[in-house]
Structures are given as C-alpha cells and as structure tokens.
Amino acid sequence: MLSTACKDAIRAMIYIAKNNKDDFISISEIAKELNLSFYFLSKILQKLVKGELLKSYRGPNGGVKLAKSAEDIRLIDIIEITDGTKFFSECILGLEKCSDNNPCPIHYMWADKRGEIQKMFESTTLKDIVEDINKLQCIKL
Amino acid sequence: MLSTACKDAIRAMIYIAKNNKDDFISISEIAKELNLSFYFLSKILQKLVKGELLKSYRGPNGGVKLAKSAEDIRLIDIIEITDGTKFFSECILGLEKCSDNNPCPIHYMWADKRGEIQKMFESTTLKDIVEDINKLQCIKL
DNA sequence: AATTAAAATGCTTTCCACAGCCTGTAAAGA
DNA sequence: TCTTTACAGGCTGTGGAAAGCATTTTAATT
C-alpha cells in the first residue's frame, strides 16, 4: 500500500521527531539506527526537505531537523510527498472511469474504507506518535 | 494495494459470474470485453483454475466457468490466490518484528483498519456483486 | 484422420521501484 | 586557504511484475 520509500520516510520522521533538539541529525546516523541504505534514505529525505517538512544543513555538524513543530506534521503530509495521493482517490479495480457518479460494483464499499484510512493518516501527527512511544512499549523502529 | 493481476482477476470473475451459464466462456472473449491482454489474463485465470475457483475446458467451445456457486466465491478467495494474504498480516511500516505483542508506534490503528478491509473482502461474494450490478447503474468493467 | 479451436505452458522482453555508487557543492575549522 | 564533513543530485545496475510471443496439448467437428 505504502511504497518502501514512504515507509522509510515515516520511520525516519518518527526517529527525527523523537530525537528533536536544536541541532541537526546526520542522515548517516538515521540510516544506521534504522538499518536503511544511506543513499536511498538521502534521496527520500531530500524530497521531504523540498516538501518543507525538514530543514537540512550541509557541512560539519550538518544534517536534518524538523522544519516545524511535531504536532504540525501529519502522517498524510509525509505520504503525500513520497507517494502522492492517488491511493485515496483511485478505483480499487484500477478503472479510470470509476467515480461516485459512475461507480464500479465495489466502489462505494471501498470508498468508505479508503476514506477511513485517509482520516487516520490526517489525524495522526508526529507528536501523537512520539507520545505513544513514550507511553507504550514499542519496538525499535 | 491489490496487484494488477489481482484487479484483473476480480474483474474477470465478476464478468464470468454475471454471464454464468452451463457453457464455458472463452478467455479471449473476456479479454476483449474487459480490454485486457489475452496472454496476461490467461495466466491469471490459470491460477484461479488451480485454486479451484474456476473450471476450464480445452478445445472448441472451451473456456472457463465458475467451479462453484457465485455465492460461495468471496473476493478474499480471489485475492488469496493471486496476491496471497501478506497484506492482512504485515506491518504497515514493513517491520518484521512488529506484532500485537510487540507493536510499532502505529500498529494498533493500522491493524484496526486492515481488519475492516479484510472483513469487507470476506463478506462480499460474487453473488452480492452481480445483484448490485443488476440493481444499480454500474460502469462497464 | 485431418483440421480447427482454445487452454496450458515455457521463453523472452519491457518497465519501474529499489538500491548503490560517484561526483558536485556548501559549510566549518584549522 | 586547505581539508574535512555532509547534503544534493546524476548515473547505473538489479529484481520482480507485467506483457508479449511461440509451441504444446486437448478436444470437437468435418
């Protein structure tokens, strides 16, 4: 459902939010901690920088950090930048002409579930997740 | 979410169920009607034959037809054969160690939605869909 | 028996997400 | 100013899904 790039992006953003301070976190540190390819992660995070969820800084002690408060970054924002929003509008059977006015046989029941998933991603912020991590016992990202 | 092969399989199965009679429907007819590659569709339907959702017959007037009543074929059956069931058990962030006892930060909210989708596919049969098509105005598959 | 229709199957090709590597560029520190 | 650090971004390789092609097998019809 989510691309590998998107999953990695979410994991990285959670890691960054959890360790959010004034200084920058290096991409190589994140890649090591999350067991990801440095090169692949670099490109994903570049997208998030362009999407204004992250700020980056080059040179020694450089890295990335959140561009805004963790409570202002929703999961859907990360998904939109990495995967786009096709998933939340496309027909589950891949029919281009399918829409509310012109439904495929399973359009309505899918539109319902799809909408709930979208709401879930819209209503969850990085702050929520970090708080949950501190409350619950969660596995290492 | 669903692979192209799975989407095609569902569309084909709906078409077959809608036109279900005693005689066999040729794969080339289905491919033409649904605007699919004959070769690709052949391979998908072969899987469904092996999975015992379809019966096939070679030679003149051959083709495929449902192996059982339309009310005994659920969408989840088609999905299991073409894509497997990984989707309904895997962590949305791709973490192997994630489980109910050992959750990732968004495990529970995802497990909830995922379960609803699974129920949707489990509770929808080809008969339900064909009835809906006859009742509602649906687009061409 | 020969011909023809249609599924079964193996082989090849195409395409894209994923991943890795290398160079360019910005910034800090000596 | 030179060296080092670290993000930016281009280029290339790889695996699996999707798609196309060709041959084989089965069965009906003439």
pLDDT tier at B137, thresholds 50, 70, 90: confident
User: A95 CA, C13 C1': separation in Å?
Assistant: 26
Q: Give residue ranges of A with CB < 8 Å to any B CB.
A: 1-2, 4, 7, 10-11, 14, 75, 87, 92-95, 97-98, 102-106, 109-110, 113, 116-117, 120, 124, 129, 132-133, 136, 138-139, 141
pLDDT of residue A27 exceeding 90, the answer is: yes
Residue in chain A closest to B2 (alpha carbons) equals A92
Helix, strand, or coil (residue B56): strand
Mean pLDDT score, B13-23: 95
The neighbour count for residue A96, using CB atoms within 10 Å, is 8
**Nearest-nucleotide field for B40 (CA, C1'):** D19
Q: What share of chain B is helix, strand, coil (3-state, %, to 5)?
A: 55, 10, 40
Ramachandran area for residue B63 (φ above 0: left; ψ -120 to 50: alpha; else beta): left
Residue B59 domain flag: yes
Distance, in Å, from the CA atom of B49 to the CA atom of A112, rounded to the nearest integer, reads: 32
User: A32 CA, D6 C1': separation in Å?
Assistant: 15
Structure tokens at A88: 């939340």
Say which CATH number the domain at A72 has: 1.10.10.10
Protein contacts of strand D with Cβ less than 7 Å away: A 24, 26-28, 39, 42-43, 45-46, 49-50, 56-64; B 3-5, 8, 37, 39-40, 57-62
Q: Which of B17, B7, B6, B2 is nearest to B54 (CA)?
A: B17
Most A CBs within 10 A among B14, B127, B139, hence the mutation to make, goes to: B139
Maximum alpha-carbon separation in chain B? 57
User: A134 CA, D17 C1': separation in Å?
Assistant: 40
pLDDT tier at B141, thresholds 50, 70, 90: confident
CA of A14 vs chain B CAs: smallest distance (Å): 9
Q: Which of B70, B64, B74, B66 is nearest to B134 (CA)?
A: B70
Confidence at residue A14, expressed as pLDDT on a 0 to 100 scale? 98
Residue A141 domain flag: no
Q: What is the pLDDT of residues B63-109, one digit of tens each?
A: 999 999 999 999 999 999 999 999 999 999 999 999 999 999 999 99
Q: Which of A14, A22, A36, A29 is nearest to A65 (CA)?
A: A22
User: A55 CA, C17 C1': separation in Å?
Assistant: 26
- Per the CB < 8 A criterion, the answer to whether B56 and B66 are in contact is no
Residue B26 domain flag: yes
Mean pLDDT score, B14-20: 96
pLDDT tier at B139, thresholds 50, 70, 90: confident
Maximum alpha-carbon separation in chain A? 57
Query: Any idea which of A124-128, A134-138, B73-77 has the lowest mean pLDDT?
Result: A134-138
Angstrom CA distances, A83 to A76, A93, A123, B42, stand at 10, 19, 18, 31
Q: Say whether the CB atom of A23 is under 7 angstroms from strand C.
A: no
Confidence at residue A52, expressed as pLDDT on a 0 to 100 scale? 98
Per-residue DSSP letter, A22:
S
Q: Which of B64, B14, B61, B20 is nearest to B38 (CA)?
A: B64
Residue A51 domain flag: yes
Beta bridge partners of A55: A65
Q: What is the pLDDT of residues A92-114, one digit of tens each?
A: 999 999 999 999 999 999 999 99
Cβ contact (<8 Å) for A139 and B98?
yes
Confidence at residue A4, expressed as pLDDT on a 0 to 100 scale? 97
Structure tokens at A116: 């709930």
pLDDT of residue B60 exceeding 90, the answer is: yes
The domain in which residue A94 lies consists of: 4-135
Q: What is the mean pLDDT of chain B?
A: 96
Residue A140 domain flag: no
Cβ contact (<8 Å) for B103 and A7?
no
Helix, strand, or coil (residue B7): helix
Report the number of distinct structural domains present in chain B: 1
Q: Residue B121, CB half-sphere, CA atoms under 13 Å: how many?
A: 18
Residue A65 domain flag: yes
Q: What is the pLDDT of residues A61-87, one digit of tens each?
A: 999 999 999 999 999 999 999 999 999
Residue in chain B closest to A106 (alpha carbons) equals B129
